[in-house]
Chain A
């Protein structure tokens, strides 16, 4: 417990340092403008970090594994499919027909629907097979991606840019209309989410133990799947898909914080994610003056790590 407190403190300090550095490094003459611009990015990064941290940790506990996250399981493919579908149907009228909020709501509903599809396919039948889950996720993800690609081919090239803008995550083009509403949704969900971490602690013992200890297992799984679906929607709608971020930060957190308590793990994971994103963004944007989004690097590193974990999982 002492080691955990120390690591927690260090991570908090790191986050403060990263925020300060990001906000104030080399501000230039128009400091007010720079500060406002950077402030928005920092806020977005923190919102995304909390979404990714909670949803990934909770999902891994529900599915009793450490290599799958909602993104890998195809949640983001659902988002892309919905975005493509909207543009496919409305073309360049998209923004007139559907407000940012309407779009967001549609994405949330789509992902909740997807969550319940997974639930029916896997939990309802009492199968808790990691490989089945991975298979279902990858198959559905590929299916949705193919559908999206197919429609993208049919879309008018000028409209295609609307879709393309949503395909790659970047903190340089944050959906600013959604930032404060997203933060509001996040706060509400985190309040609910943190009051229920004790159920995650029990769920981590496995289905049978959870039932033995008096948990309404199916109801609990449904609750967390809905929370996860909304959180993934928030983060994806805000900056776009960062497929392997969750995998990377959850495993880093488990390494640094050896505890079973989800309130600690999730809080720590929020911090770790924010530090990772902020420092990544700082290095890419300021030091290297690169226009490559930080998500590209994260997906490269995370993807390699995912393969490493898959190869290692055989002995689990």
Chain B
């Protein structure tokens, strides 16, 4: 389990995270929501040791992340950041193969290759697996990076706005993939989402951040509530039921 205890972060005098306490249940999808600048990406970067916090600790399976060997942690926890751009001559399959680096470095075994192929299949990349990533569309690139994280095959998967740039079909497909990873493979997934309906449909728990603080942290059903959402986003949102699933409408 990932536990976040009293995390704080500030840039100069500006407080970005303030006493964040959270626990992310195993085998579940937890969505992080909140306005731009609420601190979602910062929290994810701290949990994944990309950024040093100013206070508090992050525990993974009961052990402080800073006490892990880099390689061992990379086999347990993976992160995909909000924006990724490289200008390398790298094919999709080569990029996805990097997901196996924590296990086999550059000498891939048969098992590694199998996992790479499965990840490519999962993200629907078979027909572009030999294309260079700097020649792909934004959404295709995003999916290639997702496949790399899937190939990394870690218990904990942190994703910062993975639906960025994806069309509707691939957004739904990606969320279904994540659902399968959680349900069948017992992966613990923490995901930043901006579309509240995707959060509502596919996540088990929702954490709402506002101004660097955890405003709400509860089951999806309890968060998808007009009062709560208005409080988080400061706009009017109406929640209706449709086929026994809650749908939010914020075009008002």
Contacts and interface: CB of A to CB of B under 8 A. Distances in A.
Given A204-B88, A259-B89, A212 B79 contact: yes
Contacts of B164: none
Interface string B85-127: 0111110001000110110011000000000000000000000
B84 A206 contact: yes
Contacts of A258: 89
B237 to A, nearest CB: 33
Contacts of B45: 208
Nearest to A212: B79
B48 interface: yes
A202 B70 contact: no
Contact of B70 (A205, A208, A209, A215): A215
A183 B84 CA distance: 40
Contact of B74 (A198, A206, A208, A212): A212
A214 B75 contact: yes
B166 interface: no
A216 interface: yes
Interface in B39-72: 45, 48-51, 70-72
A208 B94 CA distance: 18
A89 B90 CA distance: 52
Nearest to B68: A214
Contact of A213 (B87, B88, B98): B98
Interface in A244-291: 258-260
A213 B50 contact: no
Interface in A202-239: 202, 204-209, 211-216
Contact of A214 (B51, B71, B86, B89): B71
Contact of A216 (B70, B80, B84, B105): B70
B49 A211 contact: yes
Contacts of B50: 207-208, 211-212
A132 to B, nearest CB: 17
Interface of A: 126, 198, 201-202, 204-209, 211-216, 258-260, 316
Counting chain A CB atoms within 10 Å of each CB, which of B50, B70, B90, B105 scores highest? B70
A214 B106 contact: no
Nearest to A207: B50
A211 B74 CA distance: 8
Contact of B84 (A209, A215, A259): A209
Given A198-B105, A213-B98, 11 more contacts: A198-B106, A206-B84, A209-B84, A209-B98, A211-B48, A212-B50, A213-B101, A213-B102, A215-B70, A260-B89, A260-B90
Contact of A212 (B48, B90, B105, B106): B48
Nearest to B102: A214
Contacts of A208: 45, 50, 79, 81
Contacts of A126: 51
Give the interface SS of chain A, mostly helix, strand, loop or mixed: loop
Contacts of A215: 70
A222 to B, nearest CB: 14
Contacts of A316: 87
Given A214-B70, A214-B74, A215-B70, A204 B86 contact: yes
A202 B101 contact: yes
B223 interface: no
Contacts of B94: 260
A258 B91 CA distance: 11
Contacts of A206: 84, 86
A214 B101 contact: yes
B210 to A, nearest CB: 25
Nearest to B95: A205
B73 interface: yes
A201 B95 CA distance: 11
B3 to A, nearest CB: 20
B74 A213 contact: yes
Contacts of B88: 204-205, 260
Nearest to A205: B86
A311 B51 CA distance: 33
B140 interface: no
A209 B82 CA distance: 12
17 contacts: A201-B98, A202-B101, A204-B86, A208-B45, A208-B50, A208-B81, A209-B84, A209-B98, A211-B48, A212-B78, A213-B74, A213-B101, A214-B70, A214-B72, A214-B101, A258-B89, A260-B89
Contacts of B75: 214
